Amino acid sequence: WLNVFERPGEIPMVAATLLTAAALLRSGVVPMHCWMTDLFEKATFGTAILFVTPLTGAYAAMRLVLPIAPSWGLQSMAMLSLITAVYASGMALVQRESRRFFCYLFLSNASLVLIGLELVTPLGLTGALCVWLSVGLSLTGFGITLRSIEARIGRVSLVDYHGLYDQMPMLAGFFLLTGMASIGFPATIGFVGMELLVEGVVDVYPMTGTAVVLAAAFNGIAIMLVYFRIFTGKRHISPASLRMRPAERIAVLVLSVLILGGGLVPQPGVGSRYHAALELSKQRHRELSAEANEELDFHTDEEVE
């Protein structure tokens, strides 16, 4: 089978194309996102959260696609990711059920990570890696909050107001903290990463940077709309206490410390991500240089013959 490819650059090209398609499918990029909405609707919420929040599609793109993909491949991936980010943020605004809302919110934020990875600049890669860390952490906490609410009142409809603030004030606060952290609110772990990502995108593609900001704004509006639907609007009467259990309080405390600590003391995380971005850039440069040398040797051998 490999003998079919006579030129040295053809095998990496096919490999890069297949790996790119796999990374896009795993990340749920439009139009390959329908499996993710079905996962959240039909699987248990906890299982779906554990399956998607590590952002393994972004990891595959970073480790497997980025070093060998041609520039046009990365640009195509970035364009699809940008469309997904804006589309999913708009869909999050109009959802009528909490699981689908979380799914589209996650898709939008995960696509922002892919956009930064495909810039192949130290600033853009640093921002993408920081956003990757913050999105994984904050949306895991956000999903845990929605899962805890589901455990108390069942599937959460976003058509009606539920007025749960008096019954679960700590969950309401954690809902806002994790939701705002996912869009880069100041003093949270996502703030510096989102700032670096937007700056890196604007430096390379100004119009793309505008779309990234628009997607983040839509996500923020959607989070606030859902907060008002779940925690305000009326007084909820329950015969049993809906307040947080000790185990839930420990999880909330740990995640809150990580989210706020990463925002108030960002230098260690940003520094490590910057070094990783430099290594990724060097790795891509080495791979492309080696491929160019192979191509040059191939042409030289043809001329000699």
Return all residues near 131 (Cβ < 8 A) that are at least 6 apart.
109, 112, 113, 116, 184, 190, 193, 194, 197
Q: Give the lowest-confidence range in 35-49, 147-161, 231-245.
A: 231-245
Tell me whether residue 120 is in a domain.
yes
Tell me whether residue 298 is in a domain.
no
Q: Between 25 and 242, name the one with better pLDDT.
A: 25
Tell me whether residue 289 is in a domain.
no
Work out the pLDDT band at 2, boundaries 50, 70, 90. Answer: very low
Tell me whether residue 3 is in a domain.
no
Please give the mean pLDDT across all residues of the chain. Answer: 84
Q: Give the lowest-confidence range in 110-114, 261-265, 277-281.
A: 277-281
Q: Which domain holds residue 78?
A: 10-284
CA distances from 96 to 10, 39, 101 (A): 47, 17, 8
* Tokens 């903290």 -> residue: 177
Q: Which amino acid is at 116?
A: G
**% of the chain residues with pLDDT over 70:** 89
Q: Residues 83-105: what's their mean pLDDT?
A: 93
Count of CB atoms situated within 10 Å of the CB of 236: 17
CA distances from 52 to 39, 140, 263, 288 (A): 10, 9, 24, 31
Q: Which residues pair with 173 in a beta bridge?
A: none
pLDDT at 252 over 90: no
Q: Nearest-CA neighbor of 155 among 216, 99, 223?
A: 99
Work out the pLDDT band at 303, boundaries 50, 70, 90. Answer: low
Condensed to tens digits (0 to 9), the pLDDT of residues 131-181 reads 999 999 999 999 999 998 998 888 888 998 988 888 888 999 999 999 999
Q: Residues 7-12: what's their mean pLDDT?
A: 52
Q: Residues 203-208: what's their mean pLDDT?
A: 81
pLDDT at 1 over 50: no
Q: Residues 274-288: what's their mean pLDDT?
A: 81
Give the DSSP H or E segment for 107.
helix 98-117
CA distances from 250 to 124, 220, 247, 273 (A): 35, 26, 5, 28
pLDDT at 15 over 80: no
Q: Residues 69-86: what's their mean pLDDT?
A: 86
Tell me whether residue 300 is in a domain.
no
pLDDT at 3 over 80: no
* Tokens 């791979």 -> residue: 287
Work out the pLDDT band at 305, boundaries 50, 70, 90. Answer: low
pLDDT at 104: 94
Q: Nearest-CA neighbor of 190 among 162, 219, 165, 167?
A: 219
pLDDT at 72 over 50: yes
pLDDT at 92 over 90: yes
User: Do residues 189 and 178 make contact, with C-beta atoms less than 8 angstroms apart?
Assistant: no
Q: For residue 161, what is the DSSP state?
A: -
pLDDT at 4: 40
User: Do residues 109 and 139 make contact, with C-beta atoms less than 8 angstroms apart?
Assistant: yes
pLDDT at 109: 92
User: Do residues 142 and 179 make contact, with C-beta atoms less than 8 angstroms apart?
Assistant: yes
Tell me whether residue 28 is in a domain.
yes
Q: How many distinct structural domains can be found in the chain? A: 1
Return all residues near 236 (Cβ < 8 A) that are at least 6 apart.
162, 163, 164, 166, 167
Q: Residues 94-120: what's their mean pLDDT?
A: 89
Tell me whether residue 4 is in a domain.
no
Q: Which amino acid is at 247?
A: A
Q: Nearest-CA neighbor of 66 among 132, 134, 2?
A: 132
Cα atoms in the Cβ-side hemisphere of radius 13 Å centred on 92: 29
pLDDT at 5: 43
Tell me whether residue 92 is in a domain.
yes
CA distances from 284 to 67, 121, 158, 165 (A): 4, 11, 45, 50
pLDDT at 285: 76
pLDDT at 12: 67
pLDDT at 210: 87
